[in-house]
């Protein structure tokens, strides 16, 4: 009996060492691939020099990451947004400088896009400037990780802008094809979509539906068509929604983890029309 107990302890010790080794290896790889996640947050304080014609519709695309970085998706999205300069005649300014969040420079932009920005990305004065901008009639378009759990320390942003607390995303497998139900077919950003459509995505789950916080849900994902693992939301699982903050307009799209999302004409039209709606550019 003592020998069995001894051998059991040895086996458990070996298993523990193997698991610890795997965890250490995973963390090491993450540090190599995502160094910003393991470093002190960086905040810019010197205002950038803005280039462009701000007498025409102007879009600020912000993709700073002091948390997980969606490298390929951010690059793909930024590239697509810049194409709007030619196709729409807009000014599109792409930056990762938090210092652009000041009253004077924000006032130049019709819409501020958070392109999977993660982590604590703004200093308190910069946060306050963005709050004044949006509540005073500005516009926000958030993509994917702009609504993840890395923003939890900024209560105004989570409760007033996103209006839903992120819990987890699909795993095992991470990317799954599921059925999306278009609810807001009368919204200009959704009119081109069928009632039901298929999409492969990393599906975000939230503690509650933003519908409960006054948001207008524009699309939901059908959990019966994919495996949400331990983070189901049930029949009401929003992935696209809009609402207002003060006099400002908000549009959030929980999609866009993979770069190919920004090659999908359905997603492109959602984003383009969301900018027009949020920025009140209907007659531009």
Which DSSP letter does residue 118 get? Answer: B
3-state secondary structure of 43: coil
Extract the tokens encoding 38. Answer: 């393991």
CATH architecture of residue range(s) 58-278? 3-Layer(aba) Sandwich (3.40)
**Cα-based distances in Å from 268 to 86, 98, 164:** 15, 26, 24
**Rounded CA separation 73/135 (Å):** 29
Per-residue pLDDT of the chain (284 residues; tens, 9 = 90+): 555 555 666 655 565 554 444 444 454 556 567 888 888 999 999 999 998 899 999 999 999 999 999 999 999 999 999 999 999 999 999 999 999 999 999 999 999 999 999 999 999 999 999 999 999 999 999 999 999 999 999 999 999 999 999 999 999 999 999 999 999 999 999 999 999 999 999 999 999 999 999 999 999 999 999 999 999 999 999 999 999 999 999 999 999 999 999 999 999 999 999 999 999 998 55
C-beta separation of 175 from 202 below 8 A = yes
Phi, psi of 71 (to 5 degrees): -50, -60
Give the pTM. Answer: 0.91
Which DSSP letter does residue 47 get? Answer: P
């Amino acid at each position: 009996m003592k020998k069995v107990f001894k051998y059991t302890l040895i086996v458990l010790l070996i298993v523990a060492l193997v698991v610890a080794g795997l965890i250490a290896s995973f963390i090491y790889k993450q540090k190599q691939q995502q160094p910003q996640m393991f470093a002190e947050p960086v905040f810019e304080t010197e205002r950038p020099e803005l280039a462009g014609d701000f007498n025409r519709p102007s879009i600020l695309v912000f993709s700073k990451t002091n948390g997980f970085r969606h490298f390929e998706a951010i690059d793909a999205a930024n590239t697509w947004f810049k194409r709007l300069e030619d196709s729409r005649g807009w000014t599109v300014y792409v930056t990762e400088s938090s210092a652009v969040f000041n009253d004077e420079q924000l006032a130049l932009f019709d819409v501020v896009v958070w392109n999977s920005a993660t982590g604590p990305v703004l200093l308190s004065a910069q946060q306050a400037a963005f709050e004044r901008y949006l509540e005073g009639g500005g516009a926000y378009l958030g993509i994917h990780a702009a609504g993840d759990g890395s923003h939890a320390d900024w209560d105004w942003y989570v409760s007033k802008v996103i209006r839903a607390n992120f819990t987890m995303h699909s795993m095992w497998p991470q990317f799954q094809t599921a059925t999306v139900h278009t609810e807001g077919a009368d919204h200009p950003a959704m009119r081109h979509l069928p009632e039901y459509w298929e999409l492969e995505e990393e599906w975000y789950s939230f503690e509650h539906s933003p519908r409960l916080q006054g948001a207008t849900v524009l699309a939901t994902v059908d959990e019966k068509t994919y495996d949400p693992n331990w983070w189901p939301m049930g029949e009401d699982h929003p992935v696209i929604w809009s609402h207002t903050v003060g006099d400002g307009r908000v549009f959030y799209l929980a999609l866009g983890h993979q770069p190919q999302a920004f090659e999908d004409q359905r997603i492109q039209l959602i984003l383009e029309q969301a900018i027009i709606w949020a920025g009140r550019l209907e007659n531009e």
